[in-house]
Amino acid sequence: MRDKKGDAGNKMKDIPRDKIFVGKIVDLVKLGHYGFIKSDDPELGKVFFHSDYLIDVAYKNLRFGDRVSFRVDTDTRDRIGARDVRGTTADTLMPYKNLQLGYASAEQESAMCPQLLLEGFLDEEKFAHELSFGSRFLVLGDKGSGKSALAQHIRLTAERKSNIFVRTVYLSDFPFVNFAKIINTDELPASRYPTAWSWILLLYVLDSFRSDQGSPTGSDDDFLHAVEFLSKLGLIPSPELKHLVNISTKAEFKLKLTPFFEAKKTIMSPNIKEPVPFLVEKLLGLISRFRSQSKHLLFVDGLDDILTFEDIQYEALAALLSETNRLNTCFHQSGTPAKIILLCRTDLFERLPGPNKNKIRQDSSILLDWYGSESDPMETKLVKLANRRARLSDRSIVNLFHEYFQKSYRNGSLIGFLLNYTRHNPRDFIQLLKAIQRHETSVRVDSKSIGEALADYSENYFLPEIRDILDGFIDKRDIDLVFRLLGAQGKRTFYFSSLKKFVRAIPKYRSLDLDTILDGLFECGVIGNRISNASSKSYTRFKYRNRNSVLNYRDEIIIQGALWLAFKMQHGIPSSKPEILDG
């Protein structure tokens, strides 16, 4: 009968019956009208209580985390339980608005509150260990899924150790036009890209090796000569990526490379116009001989920020993928303690050209997928992440949602309701919880604050976030026009045929390529299909629920709930309250 005794067991003889204990509610079984109190006295532990012994508080009003006082006694079967249970105050909880839950940017989070990316980081699949010590190097995930957070977690963890070196380079503002000029030959640009990427990546790896004081190779004459020479050229310490590319395209820079080969008595003639490919092979040979007990990781991030409609970008990024794969294979075969890791949006990866993408995906990628069972939302990874982070602010928190939120909302699960206003990724969910913080002034969260926060989140976070994501799927000039079109219809659900009629009737919408636009919206997880089955029940299909799903133009189309709420506010579409979304 331990479940009805708690942790006190048969120690009642050692516990005075008139002593007043204090603790907090850690479990409530509503159907049985009983629960458990975790005593502040470690000798007593967890104690069973029944509603019959409540003094000044109704059982229905109890919440997880409530502070109570009580005595202990035994029943006729010698089972220990709490007696004379009195509510003290719920305000011993830290106010919800004071909890530190996170930032929209992983870089900002690592700078302002690194503990969120250390103790507050959730990694059930052990991806951090795989990237640091395993063979996989490609991180796939939608925007907001935590790719950069994973890299920052590894970097911050490495700072606590002496045998891991981590550097991140960012592709934002990458000069693709100049990049194509690094290798100046008569070959087509796409065939020159792999060597250009090797040049850049190997320079960063060599720079990381230069900092490894424990390596026996660090005193090798060839290694020291290469570092000295490249330092004189301004390539080590490696500058920002954009600057490195621009330096590498200058004619006077390439003339300065020839002394390196002459000094090493290579077979290269000073008359050869393009020395970079020769130097790449030299660097790769040098790096392949490097030995160390430490590990060197180079993260390439920022691919989310550079999408346009230019073919040169897709060709260059496809070359980055294939060359990273080749270099990592070389490192593994030669025992080189280095690894290059790419962080890439899944939708971008799927649009890259190349015949071997699926091989790389199967053998060398990890996928960040946060979607969990909607039948038990409390067990989803997103809820676990929020709980983990909340406990950094207040170690006494057992479950953020039990202790601060009501269990149900609008006749359904509150957690399920909140998750349906997101695309089931960490950025959306954390930003929604933070929006609730901005509108809650008391210790716990009430229904009014949730409604106000949903409106704030939908209009001030979700709509701008989707606008950013669509840049690359849809021409920038059309994004606002598309939003106006979807809101002007005045309906959350519609059929493709009715949308086409609506577009034809209004001249300013006629230039829109509806097929391309709807496909882009579906890829971003902001429209889906609503499907009715034989039992007259309907369900929705969104991309974030199934990566392999496609938009069916014959089925009813539904707008994701947060985006629809933003449209309603912008267009003045009447609604008494936010609706339950896409169950």
pLDDT tens digit at each of 583 positions of the chain: 334 445 544 455 567 777 889 898 988 888 889 999 999 888 888 999 999 999 888 888 788 878 889 999 988 888 889 999 988 755 567 889 999 999 999 999 999 999 999 999 999 999 999 999 999 999 999 999 999 999 999 999 999 998 999 999 998 888 888 888 888 877 777 788 999 999 999 999 999 999 999 999 988 998 998 899 899 888 888 888 989 998 888 877 776 776 665 544 444 444 456 788 888 998 999 999 999 999 999 999 988 776 665 788 889 999 999 999 999 999 999 999 999 999 999 989 998 998 899 999 999 999 999 998 777 888 999 999 999 999 999 988 888 998 888 877 887 889 999 999 999 999 999 999 999 999 998 888 988 899 999 999 999 999 999 998 888 778 888 999 999 999 999 999 999 999 999 999 999 999 999 999 999 999 999 999 998 876 667 889 999 998 889 999 999 999 999 999 999 998 887 764 445 445 5
Which of helix, strand or coil describes residue 541? Answer: strand
Note the pLDDT of residue 275: 80
Which residue, 91, 92, 94, 116, is CA-closest to 105?
Answer: 116
Which residue, 508, 497, 544, 494, is CA-closest to 524?
Answer: 544
* Residue type for position 226: A
H or E segment and range at residue 251: helix 251-255
Note the pLDDT of residue 9: 46
Question: Which residues are CB-contacts of 214 (< 8 A; sequence separation ≥ 6)?
Answer: 163, 292, 293, 294
Note the pLDDT of residue 173: 80
Report how far Cα 354 is from the mean position of its chain's Cα atoms: 27
Question: Which residues are CB-contacts of 137 (< 8 A; sequence separation ≥ 6)?
Answer: 131, 324, 325, 328, 339, 340, 341, 342, 364, 365
In degrees and rounded to multiples of 5, residue 102 shows phi and psi of 140, 180
Which residue, 310, 313, 286, is CA-closest to 198?
Answer: 286
Question: Which residues are CB-contacts of 37 (< 8 A; sequence separation ≥ 6)?
Answer: 6, 23, 24, 25, 26, 46, 47, 49, 68, 70, 82, 85
Structure tokens at 127: 């991806």
Residue found under tokens 């100046």: 184
Residue 455: how many other CB atoms lie within 10 Å: 17
Polymer length of the chain: 583
Distances (CA, A) of 270 to 59, 254, 561: 88, 11, 65
Note the pLDDT of residue 26: 87
Buried b (16+ CB within 10 A) or exposed e, 469-479: bbebbbbeebb
> Would the CA dihedral through 53, 54, 59, 65 be positive or negative?
negative
Give the pTM: 0.84
In angstroms, rounded to a whole number, what is the distance separating the alpha carbons of residues 319 and 385?
35
Report how far Cα 418 is from the mean position of its chain's Cα atoms: 18
Contact 180, 167 (CB under 8 A): no
In degrees and rounded to multiples of 5, residue 170 shows phi and psi of -115, 135
In angstroms, rounded to a whole number, what is the distance separating the alpha carbons of residues 248 and 235?
9
In degrees and rounded to multiples of 5, residue 340 shows phi and psi of -105, 130
Note the pLDDT of residue 398: 82
Note the pLDDT of residue 256: 74
What residue ranges do the domains of the chain occupy? 2-92, 123-368, 377-571
Binning the chain into helix, strand and coil, the percentages to the nearest 5 are 50, 15, 35
Buried b (16+ CB within 10 A) or exposed e, 358-395: eebbeebbbebbbbbebeebbebbbbebbbebbbbbbe
Which residue, 218, 582, 579, 523, is CA-closest to 409?
Answer: 579
In angstroms, rounded to a whole number, what is the distance separating the alpha carbons of residues 211 and 306?
30
In angstroms, rounded to a whole number, what is the distance separating the alpha carbons of residues 561 and 578?
9
In angstroms, rounded to a whole number, what is the distance separating the alpha carbons of residues 418 and 416?
6
Residue found under tokens 């509610």: 25
Contact 176, 310 (CB under 8 A): yes
Contact 125, 150 (CB under 8 A): no
Angle of helix 496-505 relative to helix 514-523, nearest 10 degrees, comes to 130
Buried b (16+ CB within 10 A) or exposed e, 111-126: eebbebbbebbbbeee
Of 2.60.120.680, 1.10.510.10, 3.40.50.300, 2.40.50.140, the CATH number of 2-92 is 2.40.50.140
Parallel, antiparallel or unpaired: strands 295-301 and 338-345: parallel
Note the pLDDT of residue 278: 84
Cis omega (within 30 of 0) for bond into 277: no
In degrees and rounded to multiples of 5, residue 319 shows phi and psi of -65, -35
Note the pLDDT of residue 14: 67
